[in-house]
Structure 1
């Protein structure tokens, strides 16, 4: 597969002429979902789910479809009958040639006074894992871990321990819109030194072969 990083937590995967996009939210480029055959959304928060971006992608490609958890599916399904699929932890499906496994159930704790929403992660092609807003450890080996490096719900020690627990062959940063460029070297150094797996970050629009 070819991985292309979009802004914040949005990524694009390409394989055999098909394109899969995960989490085109309000921090992503306006065209982040365009060209997708498959759209995946991890949860309902706007930095991961933007209805306008999803509608643009589904309208542009009548063959495109969306797989997501119930809260998002209920908002999108009426306008796109038969093209919106509800998934949850333990589900597996094939879409446009991509094999996908669903792992996880809840968003990480932001604060005890804030109710937790549902959050699912996606293991694509048994290789690349996007956890959304959680530090879910899938019960399967992970080759490439998309790593939420900075969020209101995590700290660097938890991010380091997450890499150690998942034990991927490599980690690639996501969920980084909140992180100022001046602080990036601190995160890079800590993850490189302590994470236990090669760590890298891609700029928006940059790609890597997996």
Structure 2
């Protein structure tokens, strides 16, 4: 399994038979979707989901399939059965890659700001992308994708989340709202305190999830 980091919350995960892209939003390079078998969308916010871009990718590739929650699916009318609605406890596969779904709600930004639905995706029992929530994976995982910075996130809560999830390693995503200096500060705090191996891959960087940076 190989992971490629794209802009902000987006990653591309490749196995021998499947290529899956998670959360290609407005801060994501447009070529992230090229050649994908499936796209997984955690929630409807613009930094995770751009309707026009996803529709264009679907029109260009009739085999592209999309799994997401109900609120995103309602914005993708016209794509028919290619869009699959999933929620907490569901499971499916993409060309032999097992995926399960966990979580229901986006983290609270402020009581006056309505919450939206949010689901996390566990791939092959090894890699967990929580979207914009601190949802615990249902089992210990090798790799946890950690939202590094968001309007709803405190560093203290992120450290506690990583400690409780106790993955083999955590990799930062969702960092576009921070300057390079801010990313470095957050990384030092989390990496030095969480107690697990912590990495901050740059856009375009590839990581072999068995350990070696490509």
* Alignment TM-score, normalising by the size of structure 1: 0.97
- Structure 2 residues not aligned, in runs of 5+: 210-214
Provide the residue aligned with 1:67 in structure 2.
67
Any residues of structure 2 matched to 1:1-150 within 5 Å, and which? Answer: 1-76=1-76, 78-150=77-149
For the residues of structure 2 that align with 1:17 and 1:67, how far apart are their CA atoms?
18
Tell me the CA shift for residue 17 of structure 1: 4.0
For the residues of structure 1 that align with 2:123 and 2:134, how far apart are their CA atoms?
17
CA contact (8 A) 1:7 1:28 kept: yes
Tell me the CA shift for residue 193 of structure 1: 1.4
CA contact (8 A) 2:126 2:143 kept: yes
Tell me the CA shift for residue 34 of structure 1: 2.1
Per mean C-alpha deviation after superposition, the further-off stretch among 30-39 and 18-27 is 30-39
Tell me the CA shift for residue 79 of structure 1: 2.0
Tell me the CA shift for residue 8 of structure 1: 0.2
For the residues of structure 1 that align with 2:57 and 2:125, how far apart are their CA atoms?
25
For the residues of structure 2 that align with 1:183 and 1:81, how far apart are their CA atoms?
42
CA contact (8 A) 1:33 1:56 kept: no
Provide the residue aligned with 2:208 in structure 1.
209
Tell me the CA shift for residue 96 of structure 1: 2.1
Tell me the CA shift for residue 27 of structure 1: 1.0
For the residues of structure 2 that align with 1:198 and 1:91, how far apart are their CA atoms?
29
Q: Which runs of 4+ in 1 moved over 3 A?
A: none
CA contact (8 A) 1:36 1:57 kept: no
- Structure 1 residues not aligned, in runs of 5+: none
Corresponding pairs, count: 209
Question: In structure 2, the residue corresponding to 1:101 is in which secondary structure?
Answer: strand
